[in-house]
Structure 1
Amino acid sequence: MPLLHISLQAGKPSAYRQAIFDSLYRALRDALDVPEDDRFMTITEHDPANFRYGKAFGIDRSDDLVYIQITVFNTRTAQQKKALFRRIAELLGENPGIRPEDVFVTVLEAAKENWSVGHGLAQFA
């Protein structure tokens, strides 16, 4: 049950944003074996004046940088997360053509009892 928040600079066409959604969903299915149709994602676009990045960690980023924040159950292994990072960079490189240097991913973990996915219930507690 991942929840994704994606941030990028404004101005990309709808097909580009859809390709991000599709590539991320595929990466989640491949690396974390999420259920079919488990697509809980948002994209937020920012004016260049409100979108910052640097060359920290020796990475030469560009204006095509995409921040991806993924919240998941706290049951994923380090190996699964590493596989996810690789698969995201690979698939976003294929479509919509984002360089690996411009893929910035964080994984936030939450205990299952901290989720309610509808009806005011704690479905996983």
Structure 2
Amino acid sequence: MPFVRIDTLRAGPKRLAALGRAVQDALGETMGIPPDDRFQVLVDHDGTSGVLRYGDYLGVHRDEGIVYVAITLRSGRTPAQKQALYRRVAELAHTYAGTEPRNVFVVLTENGSADWSLGEGAAQYLESPRSPA
């Protein structure tokens, strides 16, 4: 049950939607996330009231095509799975949205089962299933 936030700079709605699809598909391929387990916030900044800052840190040249992808998910994935995810997100972002892989910045934040409520004020990952009435 990942929660994904994608921030872009003047990408437009079609490119932003394609990036959301790229991340979802990559999560499915590399971590087995089901297609309907999609919780995303997609934000396109206009460069005036909302901007994105970036640099050439660690020798990666970024430009205005920058895409920030923040994924929060329950812990338990291996470093190899995470590396496969980063690679696949960059590949699919290029294929689906024309984003240069050098402009795909991904960060994962892991947490535990108690850190999620999927609605109705419940901690679904902690609570036992309700018995039928």
State the TM-score, normalized to the length of structure 1: 0.94
Distance 1:78 1:112 in 2: 20
1:110 CA displacement: 0.8
Distance 2:35 2:43 in 1: 24
1:35 CA displacement: 1.7
1:78 CA displacement: 1.1
Output the amino acid matched with 1:9.
L
SS of the aligned residue for 2:97 comes to: coil
1:95-120 Cα offsets, whole Å, 9 max, x none, are 11111110000000011111010111
Number of the residue aligned with 1:53: 54
Distance 1:47 1:17 in 2: 13
Distance 1:65 1:95 in 2: 15
Greater shift, 42-51 or 22-31, is seen at 42-51
Structure 1: give runs of 5+ residues left out of the alignment. Answer: none
Question: In the alignment, is residue 42 of structure 1 matched against residue 41 of structure 2?
Answer: yes
Distance 1:51 1:15 in 2: 19
Distance 1:79 1:51 in 2: 29
1:72-102 Cα offsets, whole Å, 9 max, x none, are 0011111111110011011111111111110
Number of the residue aligned with 2:2: 2
Structure 2: give runs of 5+ residues left out of the alignment. Answer: 127-133
4+ runs of 1 displaced by more than 6 Å? none
State the TM-score, normalized to the length of structure 2: 0.88
Question: In the alignment, is residue 69 of structure 1 matched against residue 70 of structure 2?
Answer: yes
CA RMSD after TM alignment: 1.1
Q: For the pair shown, which has the larger CA radius of gyration, 1 or 2? A: 2
1:36 CA displacement: 2.8
Number of the residue aligned with 2:92: 91
What is the identity percentage for the equivalent residue pairs of Structure 1 and Structure 2? 36
Output the amino acid matched with 1:92.
A
Number of the residue aligned with 1:32: 31
Greater shift, 87-96 or 39-48, is seen at 39-48
Distance 2:112 2:81 in 1: 17
Q: Is the 8 A contact 2:12 2:44 kept in 1?
A: no
